[in-house]
Chains A and B, each alone.
Chain A
Amino acid sequence: MSDIIKKPFPSYLDMPAQLPSNFWWSFRIATFAVMLVIMWLVATNPASGFALFWKVLIPSLPLLFALAPGIWRQICPMALVNQIPRTFGFSKELTLPVRFKNLAYFISVLTFFFLVSLRHVYFNKEPAALLVLVFGALALAFIGGVFYKGRSGWCGTFCPLAPIQKAYGHAPVVTIRNGYCPTCVGCQKNCYDFNPRAAFLSDLADKDPWYAGHKKFFVAGLPGFAIGFFTAQDLAQTSLVTYYLYLAGWIITTLGIYMAARIFISVTDFRAAAISAMSALVIFYWYTGAGIVNTLGGLAGVQAPDWVLMLPFFTAIVVGVRVIFLGMSAEADFRALDSGKAEPRVGVKIDIVRRNAGAEDLVSERKSGRSFAADPTRTLLDGIESAGLTLDFGCRMGMCGADPIAIVEGMESLSPPSDDELATLRRLGLEGRARMACVCKATGGGVTIDLGMNPNDLPEPPPPENQRDLGVETGVQKVVIIGNGTAGMAVADEVRRHSASCKIDVVARESHQFYNRMAIGRLLYGRTGLEDLYLMSPEWFEKKSVDVWLNTQAVAIDRDGKQVKLGTGESLAYDKLVLAMGSRAIVPPAEGTQLPGCFVLREAADAQIIRAWRQQHACERAVVLGGGVLGIEAADALRRLNVKTTIIQRAERLMNKELDEKGSAILRKYLEGLGIKVITGASVAKVFGNARVEQVELSNGDLLDAEIYIACAGVKANSELAAAAGLEVKRGVIVDAAMRTSDPDIFAAGDVAELSGAVSGLWAVGTAQAAVAAATLFGKDASYSPPSTLVSLKMDGIDVKGFGSLEGGDGIEEIFDANEPENEHRRLFISDGRIVGAVFVGPPGTGQDVGQVIQSRANLSGIIERLRNKDWAALGSV
């Protein structure tokens, strides 16, 4: 019963079939055959026939009824004949009149007492009588089946064995599913075959005292009847009247005990009934146990030892006690339901859900005490979120440094870090102590992390010995950096690694310490403040003695005097200067874009202003210009802020630089599913409004209502300062592969730099260029080699990855699955075993593996065959 929800009273419809129906049919026919054989024996060799029937077959039934009544309900020969008309479709299927439904039990109880009592008179000794009894019952069962529907013609109604089955089996130790009713036709009241655990309880609790009374009468009289039956004098020595008076006396005695118990110790009806029924069971085996054993022994030709003779009796005690306990728990459930207190239950098909949910080993999180599954296909960040915990993240690529987590235990059970992640950890000074949650996966158990702990508080590895100080060696003692974005701060960090003595000043126009620019969308929709975006702890600045001039602009560079002039009137002298001013958002020229309500999203302050604006003016609609990564992420942030947003994309599809048509189409459909509108092949012509933005006119003439307009249409390097200082500048500050500008003492890195032929505008590019600039300025030979330029959309609920060139060509193999699902799209371009181009778009998880492979630049020769067979999971094994 493991694949159903645990209902307290499952009906047979809730139970799975434990065994195939063929099995039961064979079993039924076999039982029927055994019965015929015994009847044949009764007719031809009464001594052994009677012994088998009365000493073995019949006395075994009560225990079977208590243990697994469902077995008998499946194989009973009377049930078999009763169900023949139904099975072969010739039953008239009449409904048993309600009067009979209520009375049937009473009739069957009387029949039971009467027929059993006649054993001493006829059936124990007259072969003919027994044959008439058995075949008569079969005939009646069959006739019942011909006329009445379901099992109401016999099994659940008139069958004299039905009351005893219900009483002994009121709380089955083992439940076997009803195998006769393909559909339930509701043929009888409180059907035992429908709901075995509830039938007897419901009978006793019935509102009709007459109906409930029959049941009580039966169970209460049963022990007495058993004692009377087994202790009655031989009929040869007494009269029939005395015999029946004697039986009645016993029945009345236990009936009296039952009533007294109900009155004086106020035991519930159900418990009194359960105890009564089980006493009858035990009494029965007290008298018949030895007979069963002896008869079987006689058949086998062995003499059973004394203790074995008692075995049936003791078994009956154990089973009886067990059934009473099961009954009591059923009663408690029943009462809870009856009083209306049991809350209605809602469940799922547990096996199916569980099969798809998986996972065994755990990762523990110390602060919350929660844990999540160690799953080699999911990152720790996924796990943390699945545990209902939050962790701020940024790039989800191990590059930005937003989500280091302290590994308290089990470092060895984590996936090895990629170069990107190592570089990030190094920058954060956390090698060997922490991991970036967004890329790290637990491959085994025994991992403990601690989200409450600053990874910096974990013991630090000893500093490398004989550290040289390049600053002293080369005489570079003053380094000034303009800009505290990723490029600027990575330079600061690298410079400090090369020289402990060098003075480092960072000039920063914004008023915040280094933060995660890629995640500013969260400031728009989330309630969290900027603190969560900071990428370096305050101690870092102190420990590394890096002086950051927040809220301070560099306004001029005096190359001759080797000074940077600040907007405050101060100036900073430098031996070497690094330009890391980044870039700013472009607002494509259109009438009206100076109106309040027009924004860009480049800095933390931008996000904060938009959020305030949305609240101040209760804005409901927005237009985002630009269908690239930034535009889509901005639109998603607005959506989460409950603003209806339309994306205007000049190209014919979203993310046209990174994705192919199908990839774009899936993305578009997903966004539209979230309620974000997308208009392609259009641009913004004009922005209107009285005092602020109210409408946006598109190039195609369409008018859109909007109170917010955000331009995400590209960036422009902040290179004016450099140009004014006479450095060579085109789109950005021109550098060579060593990050030198046209002035040997000035370097540039990040968005502000322009290196011929290299991709720019990406986080990882800035970090990588910074390392080169820091090395070159100390006179080392270094040359920039581009990091992976994987573009991934940082949006929950969808994976979008684009990389490299999506064009085949000489020596480039393209792999894609023509039969892929409509919702998923994967295309790989491989040359010399390495990925040179890729699009992966689909539900979460679709592109995780490919992203990591691209970042690690792993060689795929080993799995190329699997990939050709579209076994994308192979990417996870690299």
Chain B
Amino acid sequence: MGLFDYSNAADSVEPLQEITFLADLSSEDWARVLKIVKSRVFRAGDDLIRAGDKDDSFYILTSGEVEVTIGDKVLATIPEGSVFGEISFFDGALRSATIRAKSKGSAVRVTRDDLDTLAAWEPEIARKMLFDLGRVLAMRLRWTTRLAAS
């Protein structure tokens, strides 16, 4: 499970389960990003994403807690600090689940247009962002593969 992944230790075997998105971005870098992408606030019960919506954006939950629901079923809870929604960001397909706020909070929403804009202003940050999103996808893919295998 990677709980004892002593980074440079010889006996660590499992892959990392947790990624810090854009870990090496400084506060100033983030300030620049947030000039271009928009931050969104919500109240408990608001839908951030609705199943069936077409929306090519991903989110960074900056405060509060949200849950993933399909119909009345709650599938998972997403805690503060998480990155989610990146699949539709890439393929632009309809959202498959609704993300509903459990508490009031805020999220940064990054659309594909935002990434284009970011790439024009801050190519280096945009490149990192895209690469990290790829990493996120890869990790989640590995996870599903493993689930399917087990």
Give the complex CA separation of A386 and B37 in angstroms: 8
CB-based nearest A residue for B40: A386
A823 at the interface (CB under 8 A from B): yes
Q: Which residues of B have CB within 8 Å of A187?
A: 9
Whether the pair B46, A349 counts as a contact (CB closer than 8 A) is no
Partner-binding segment picked from A269-277, A366-374, A490-498, A544-552: A366-374
- The interface bits of chain A over 160-200 (1 if a CB of B lies within 8 angstroms of the residue's CB, else 0) are 00000000000000000000000111110111001100100
CB-based nearest A residue for B132: A346
Whether the pair A673, B123 counts as a contact (CB closer than 8 A) is yes
How many Å from the CB of A753 to the closest CB on chain B? 38
Q: Which residues of A have CB within 8 Å of B12?
A: 186
Whether the pair A388, B20 counts as a contact (CB closer than 8 A) is no
A691 at the interface (CB under 8 A from B): no
Q: Which residues of A have CB within 8 Å of B82?
A: 5, 345-347
How many Å from the CB of A126 to the closest CB on chain B? 41
Whether the pair B4, A338 counts as a contact (CB closer than 8 A) is no
B42 at the interface (CB under 8 A from A): yes
A34 at the interface (CB under 8 A from B): no
Q: Which residues of A have CB within 8 Å of B46?
A: 369-371
CB-based nearest A residue for B139: A344
Give the complex CA separation of A355 and B25 in angstroms: 14
- The interface bits of chain B over 31-44 (1 if a CB of A lies within 8 angstroms of the residue's CB, else 0) are 11111101111110
- The interface bits of chain B over 128-140 (1 if a CB of A lies within 8 angstroms of the residue's CB, else 0) are 0000000010011
Q: Which residues of A have CB within 8 Å of B19?
A: 344-347
Q: Which residues of B have CB within 8 Å of A350?
A: 62-63, 80-81
- The interface bits of chain A over 335-357 (1 if a CB of B lies within 8 angstroms of the residue's CB, else 0) are 00110111111111110111111
Give the complex CA separation of A185 and B120 in angstroms: 42
Whether the pair A337, B119 counts as a contact (CB closer than 8 A) is no
Give the complex CA separation of A382 and B123 in angstroms: 23
Give the complex CA separation of A362 and B46 in angstroms: 13
* Majority secondary structure, A binding face: loop
How many Å from the CB of B118 to the closest CB on chain A? 8
How many Å from the CB of B82 to the closest CB on chain A? 5
B106 at the interface (CB under 8 A from A): yes
Whether the pair A357, B35 counts as a contact (CB closer than 8 A) is no
How many Å from the CB of B45 to the closest CB on chain A? 8
Q: Which of B31, B41, B121 contacts A371 (CB 8 A)?
A: B41
Whether the pair B80, A184 counts as a contact (CB closer than 8 A) is no
Number of interface residues, chain B, beta carbon within 8 A: 69
Q: Which residues of A have CB within 8 Å of B35?
A: 843-845
Q: Which of B27, B32, B48, B120 contacts A673 (CB 8 A)?
A: B120
B11 at the interface (CB under 8 A from A): yes
How many Å from the CB of B60 to the closest CB on chain A? 5
Q: Which of A6, A340, A387, A673 contacts B80 (CB 8 A)?
A: A6
Q: Which of A347, A362, A669 contacts B83 (CB 8 A)?
A: A347
Give the complex CA separation of A370 and B76 in angstroms: 22
Whether the pair B79, A6 counts as a contact (CB closer than 8 A) is yes
Whether the pair A352, B30 counts as a contact (CB closer than 8 A) is yes
A674 at the interface (CB under 8 A from B): yes
Whether the pair A348, B41 counts as a contact (CB closer than 8 A) is no
Q: Which of A183, A340, A352, A369 contacts B27 (CB 8 A)?
A: A352
Q: Which of B39, B116, B142, B146 contacts A357 (CB 8 A)?
A: B39
How many Å from the CB of A556 to the closest CB on chain B? 48
Number of interface residues, chain A, beta carbon within 8 A: 65
Whether the pair A195, B43 counts as a contact (CB closer than 8 A) is no
Whether the pair A191, B39 counts as a contact (CB closer than 8 A) is no
A32 at the interface (CB under 8 A from B): no
Whether the pair B20, A357 counts as a contact (CB closer than 8 A) is no
How many Å from the CB of A186 to the closest CB on chain B? 2
CB-based nearest B residue for A672: B120
Give the complex CA separation of A346 and B23 in angstroms: 11
CB-based nearest A residue for B65: A6
Whether the pair A340, B146 counts as a contact (CB closer than 8 A) is yes
Q: Which residues of A have CB within 8 Å of B45?
A: 369
Whether the pair A356, B31 counts as a contact (CB closer than 8 A) is yes
A359 at the interface (CB under 8 A from B): yes
Give the complex CA separation of A795 and B150 in angstroms: 50
Give the complex CA separation of A669 and B31 in angstroms: 21
Q: Which residues of A have CB within 8 Å of B5?
A: 11
A796 at the interface (CB under 8 A from B): yes
Whether the pair B140, A349 counts as a contact (CB closer than 8 A) is no
Give the complex CA separation of A135 and B16 in angstroms: 42
B21 at the interface (CB under 8 A from A): yes
Q: Which residues of A have CB within 8 Å of B27?
A: 352, 355-356
* Majority secondary structure, B binding face: mixed
B70 at the interface (CB under 8 A from A): no
How many Å from the CB of A821 to the closest CB on chain B? 10
Q: Which of A343, A348, A669, A845 contacts B143 (CB 8 A)?
A: A343
CB-based nearest B residue for A674: B120
* Given the contacts A194-B4, A673-B121, A345 and B18 also touching, CB distance less than 8 Å: yes
- The interface bits of chain A over 360-393 (1 if a CB of B lies within 8 angstroms of the residue's CB, else 0) are 0010000001111100000000100111100000
Give the complex CA separation of A191 and B121 in angstroms: 45
* A342, A348, A355, most chain B CB atoms within 10 A: A348
Give the complex CA separation of A337 and B147 in angstroms: 11
* Given the contacts A185-B8, A372-B40, A796 and B3 also touching, CB distance less than 8 Å: no
Whether the pair B121, A386 counts as a contact (CB closer than 8 A) is no
Give the complex CA separation of A577 and B141 in angstroms: 70
Give the complex CA separation of A191 and B3 in angstroms: 10
- The interface bits of chain A over 407-439 (1 if a CB of B lies within 8 angstroms of the residue's CB, else 0) are 000000000000000000000000000000000
Whether the pair B120, A670 counts as a contact (CB closer than 8 A) is yes
Q: Which residues of B have CB within 8 Å of A352?
A: 25-27, 30
How many Å from the CB of B9 to the closest CB on chain A? 2
Q: Which residues of B have CB within 8 Å of A6?
A: 79-81
Whether the pair B40, A796 counts as a contact (CB closer than 8 A) is no
Give the complex CA separation of A522 and B142 in angstroms: 41
Q: Which residues of A have CB within 8 Å of B117?
A: 674, 796-798, 844
How many Å from the CB of B101 to the closest CB on chain A? 10
A780 at the interface (CB under 8 A from B): no
B87-140 residues with Cβ-Cβ distance < 8 A to A are 106, 108-109, 113-114, 116-117, 119-121, 123, 136, 139-140
Q: Which residues of B have CB within 8 Å of A823?
A: 121
Q: Which residues of B have CB within 8 Å of A217?
A: none
How many Å from the CB of A15 to the closest CB on chain B? 13
A613 at the interface (CB under 8 A from B): no
* Given the contacts A346-B83, A349-B20, A356 and B123 also touching, CB distance less than 8 Å: no
* A5, A338, A357, most chain B CB atoms within 10 A: A357
A27 at the interface (CB under 8 A from B): no
A7 at the interface (CB under 8 A from B): yes
A202 at the interface (CB under 8 A from B): yes
A9 at the interface (CB under 8 A from B): yes
How many Å from the CB of B119 to the closest CB on chain A? 6
A201-259 residues with Cβ-Cβ distance < 8 A to B are 202
Whether the pair B140, A343 counts as a contact (CB closer than 8 A) is yes
* B26, B39, B143, most chain A CB atoms within 10 A: B39
Q: Which of A198, A347, A349, A353 contacts B18 (CB 8 A)?
A: A347
Give the complex CA separation of A798 and B35 in angstroms: 11
Give the complex CA separation of A49 and B36 in angstroms: 67
How many Å from the CB of B128 to the closest CB on chain A? 13
Give the complex CA separation of A429 and B148 in angstroms: 62
Whether the pair A195, B150 counts as a contact (CB closer than 8 A) is no
Q: Which residues of A have CB within 8 Å of B109?
A: 386, 388
CB-based nearest A residue for B104: A362
Q: Which residues of B have CB within 8 Å of A355?
A: 27, 30
Q: Which residues of B have CB within 8 Å of A358?
A: 39
Whether the pair A195, B3 counts as a contact (CB closer than 8 A) is yes
9 A-B residue pairings within 8 Å (CB atoms):
A5-B79, A184-B7, A337-B3, A338-B1, A344-B142, A346-B21, A350-B62, A356-B30, A674-B117
The 10 closest A-B pairs by CB, nearest first: A186-B9, A673-B120, A186-B6, A797-B117, A386-B38, A5-B81, A347-B81, A350-B81, A357-B39, A346-B83
**8 further interface pairs, Cβ-Cβ under 8 Å (given A187-B9, A371-B42):** A7-B18, A13-B7, A186-B12, A344-B17, A348-B21, A354-B63, A357-B34, A386-B39
